[in-house]
Amino acid sequence: MKELQTSGAACSAQPRNRAIVQGNLIAQSCPVLGALSGFQPSTLKQERIYGQRQPHVAIGEIHPCPTAARRPPTGCACSARRRQRLAERTLQGYDSGMKMKTDDAIMKIFARILLCVALSSVAMSMYGNSLNEPSVIFEGYLIYTNNFLPTHETKTLHFSFQRKGCTWLLKSGIEERNLGYTETGFDGTNEYRFTYWNTDQVEKARADKKKAYFVTGQVAPNSIPDFDAAWSRHIWFALMPYSCSSMTAINPCDLVTGTKVITNCNRILFPTFDVPGSYVTKATVWSQGNDILDDGSVVPLAPPFDKGFTNLIFSSSLVEWSGGLEAPTNFEYHVYGAMGKSPTLLWSLYGTITNVTTESEFSPIPEIIDATYIVDFRATNFGNKQIIHYISTNGWLKPSDPEFRKLVSIGNEAVMTAKHATIVRIFLIGFAIAGLIPIFLAWKKGREANLT
C-alpha cells in the first residue's frame, strides 16, 4: 500500500504543484489579475482540491490519495491519471482565464477612456451652447420698508436684470435716468457702474449748460454690485445662479451692511437650493455676536446677542415661466438687529418678478448717453497704481484707446514728479541740517570759552 500511496503522491503532486507555482507566478507578475475575483492561486485552496486539510496537519503531510488504502492499485492509478488530466485542464483554464481577465481589464480601461472623451465632448458642447444661448431678462419691482423708524418708511423702485452666463446688467431706480437711477454691469472682468444725481427731470438737467455733468461712474475689477440706495446687490443675489464664482465668494456681511472695509465679518451664510448650483431659495446669515462699526472694526455685542443671533433671512419662490424656464417669481429679505431682549426687525425688501423673457442681443456694459464723470481703476494694470478720471458723454474709454493711455502716462508722470519733489525736499532738509551742524558746534565752543 505504501507503493500505491507513493505512486499516488507522485501522480498527483506534480501537476498540482505545477498549477500552484504557475498561479503564484501569474499573481506576482500581475498583481491586479491576482486580485480579480475567481483568480485565487492560494496553496490552501489547491490543497483542498486534493484532500481535506486538518488544522493540526501541515500542508506537506496531507495524503495525496486519501482513499488509496481501500482501492485496488488500478483504481489509484486511474485516479492519478484523472488528476493529471484535471491538473492540465486547470492549467489551461488558468491560462485562458488569465487571458480573458486581461482582455476584460483592457476593455474596461478602453471603455473608461471612451467615456471620458465622450463626457469631455459633452462638456465642451454644453459650454459652446452656453455661449450661444440667449440672455434672460427679469423685469419687476422692489418694495423697501424700514420697520425701525416710527414712520415705517416705504419706497418702491423698478428694475431690469439681464443675465447671460455669469455676466449681467442691472438697471434699477424709481424712475429711469432721474435721481438715484443706477446701472451696473459685469463683463466677466470689470464692473461698470453709473448713478444719476440730477434733482430735476433728465430733460431739464440736460438743458442746463452750467453743469459739466450730473452722472458719476466707475470702472473697477469687481464682480458684486454695491450696497446702494437702489438695492442693486440684493436684486443681483436673488437672480444669480449659485454656480457663478462671485456668488460663492460673497461675504455674508455684504448682504447686511454697506461698509466697504470689513476687517472681520464674524457672520456665516447658510444658502439652500432646490437644485444645486441654481438660484438660492433660502438663506440665513448668522451673526456670531459681534457688530461692525463704520470704520470696519468689530466690537462684541451686549448680552444676550454676544452668543449669536439670526441677522438676515432670505427666501425666494421659483416657478416655471413660458418656454420651460424655471426662475424666481418673488423674493424677500428681512434684516434683524441686536436691540432689546430679542432680535428686532430693522428693514425688509419684497421683490416681485413680473416678466421673464429671453433676448439674443446682450451687452453687459451700461450705455452712457449723458455727461458722466468717471473714475477708472483699470489703470492699475499699467505700471504705477494710478486711478484715472475723465468726463464722457458717449461711452467708456477702452485700455487700447490712445486717450486712455495718455491719461495713464499723465498719471505716471504726476507720480514720478511727486516722488522727485519728495526726494528734493528730503535732500534740501538734509542739506540744511548739515549746514546747521558746524554753526551749532561753533556756538557751543564759543559758549564754553566764555564760561572759562
Which one, of 216, 264, 237, 230, lies nearest residue 366 by Cα? 216
- What is the signed CA dihedral for 72, 77, 79, 84, rounded to 10 degrees? 170
3 state DSSP class of 106: helix
- What pLDDT sits at residue 334? 97
The reported pLDDT for the residue numbered 380 is 76
Handedness of CA 246, 250, 254, 259 (dihedral sign): negative
Q: What pLDDT is attached to residue 16?
A: 40
Q: What does the DSSP 8-state code read for residue 361?
A: -
Q: Are 328 and 136 in contact (CB under 8 A)?
A: no
* Average pLDDT per consecutive 10 residues, the chain (452 residues; last block may be shorter): 40 40 39 39 39 40 40 46 58 52 61 54 43 87 90 90 97 88 96 94 91 94 91 96 93 83 80 92 93 76 92 96 91 94 94 95 95 91 78 92 87 41 42 50 52 50
pLDDT digits (tens, 9 = 90+) for 262-283: 667 888 999 999 888 899 999 9
Could you give the maximum distance between any two Cα atoms of the chain, in Å?
144
Cross-strand bridge partners of residue 348: 145, 334
The vertex-195 CA angle with 137 and 414, nearest 5°, equals 125
pTM across the whole model: 0.62
- Length of the chain equals 452
Residue 167 is inside which H or E element, if any? Answer: strand 167-173
- What is residue 105's predicted lDDT score, i.e. its pLDDT? 63
Instruction: For residue 379, give Cα distances in angstroms to 99, 219, 347, 413.
Output: 66, 10, 38, 13
According to the model, what pLDDT value does residue 385 have? Answer: 67
**Residue 68 pLDDT:** 40
**Predicted local confidence at residue 441, as pLDDT:** 53
| Whole-number pLDDT of residue 253 | 87
Give the C-alpha separation, 270 to 267, whole Å: 10
Distance CA 49, CA 16 (A): 9
**According to the model, what pLDDT value does residue 131 have?**
55
Q: What is the CA 77 to chain-centroid distance, rounded?
A: 75
Closest listed residue to residue 328, CA positions, set 264, 380, 283: 283
Strand partners, 90: none
**Residue 79 to residue 9: CA distance in whole angstroms:** 11
Residues 6+ apart with CB under 8 A from 253: 259, 262, 265, 267, 292
DSSP 197-252: --SS-HHHHHH-TT-S-SEEEEEES--S----TT-HHHHHHHHSBTTSHHHHT--G
Query: Are the CB atoms for 366 and 169 separated by under 8 Å?
Result: yes
* Spatial contact of 217 and 192, defined as CB atoms under 8 Å apart: yes
Give the cell for residue 280. 438660492
